[in-house]
Amino acid sequence: PDGARFRAADVSVAVGTDLNPGTSPTADLPREAALAMRDGGLTSEEALLGITRHAARAAGFGELGSLRVGGLADLAVFDTPTPRTLPYVLGDVRAREVWVGGRCVHRSPASLPW
C-alpha cells in the first residue's frame, strides 16, 4: 500500500494477517504494523489504528478495536512507552495483560526496561 495516497484520499487502512505460508507467515500484529510503516508508508498512528479500529471495521465488527464507555473492554496491554511505539518493538512482543469483558484473564511480569 501507499500510505501517502491513502492519506490524501482520506482512506482508513486496515492492517492484518491471514496467517498463511504463501503471503503472510506470521500472526504477529505489531510486526505487521511495523512492516506497514516501513513498506507501506503508514505513520505509527495509522499502523496502530490499522491493527485495531480500522481492522475491526474492515472485518465487519463495527466499533470493536477501540476503547469507549459501554464497550466490551477486550484489550491487551503491552510494555511500550506509548501506544505509538508498539510497531517499533519487533521480536518477542507479548502482552503484559489481556482483558476480556472488563476482566483480566492474563498477567505477566514486565519484560522491557521502560
Domain residue limits, the chain: 3-107
DSSP 24: B
Average pLDDT, the chain: 81
Give the model confidence (pLDDT) of 45-73 as tens digits. 899 889 888 988 898 987 777 778 887 77
The pTM (predicted TM-score) of the whole model is 0.72
Nearest to 48, CA basis, from 9, 26, 8, 76: 76
